[in-house]
Amino acid sequence: MGSEFDYSAPDAPATAVADVVSEIKNQGKLPPLTDEQIAQRKVDAEIYQAECQWRDQERWAESDRKQAVAAAMAEHERRVALEQAQRKARRERQEQISREVRERELRDLRQQVTRQDWWQRNVDAAARNAVAVRERQALISDLDRIVNPPAPPPEPEVIYAEPEEETFCGAKIPRWR
């Protein structure tokens, strides 16, 4: 920085001692800045502030982009979840409808079987009744024949008829005998 102390020199100039003392005193202290250096530091500070602002803006923009991407992904996941929930609800509703249709069909089949059984019982009862009526009628007619025998057939009556003369267009036709 300033001058260096030379130990081998026979006499040290007074300015050299003052320079060394000044250097020891100012050890760790910065030398005063020149006007040029001050102006340069102001420019450097402004550049640094502009760079910091630019970095902050870049960070904010990156943060905004990340938030937008995260929001888009969250919206996508929400839509996917909603779609899956709707699909599940549709599937469950379809299964419920299928169960209800099956139950209704089974109920209808049971009713048809019950009606068929009822109809079959009625047909069987009617057939038994018809057989019983025929048997009663047969018994009654047998008893009636036994109790009231049929009247003898009437005597045949003989009727003699003479042949008439045959005519053809008003003319008598003789018979061949």
Question: What are the extents of the domains in the chain?
Answer: 34-119
Return the pLDDT at 71: 94
Return the pLDDT at 50: 95
Return the pLDDT at 174: 64
Return the pLDDT at 165: 66
Q: Average the pLDDT over each of 53-57, 93-97, 172-176 and give the range with the smallest value.
A: 172-176
The answer to whether residue 47 scores a pLDDT higher than 90 is yes
Residues 61, 53: Cα–Cα separation, whole Å = 12
Q: How far is CA 116 from the centre of its chain?
A: 39
Highest mean pLDDT among 26-40, 87-101, 163-177: 87-101
Task: Report whether 41 contacts 33 (CB < 8 A).
Answer: yes
pLDDT band at 39 (very low <50, low <70, confident <90, very high): very high
Return the pLDDT at 8: 66
Task: Report whether 120 contacts 126 (CB < 8 A).
Answer: no
- Mean pLDDT, the chain, rounded, equals 85
- Bridge partners of 168, per DSSP, are 171
Return the pLDDT at 131: 95
Residues 142, 145: Cα–Cα separation, whole Å = 5
pTM score: 0.39
User: How large is the average pLDDT for residues 42-58?
Assistant: 95
Residues 156, 96: Cα–Cα separation, whole Å = 88
Q: What is the DSSP string of 82-142?
A: HHHHHHHHHHHHHHHHHHHHHHHHHHHHHHHHHHHHHHHHHHHHHHHHHHHHHHHHHHHHH
In the chain, what percentage of residues exceed pLDDT 90? 58
For residue range 79-91, list pLDDT tens digits in order. Answer: 999 999 999 999 9
Return the pLDDT at 31: 72
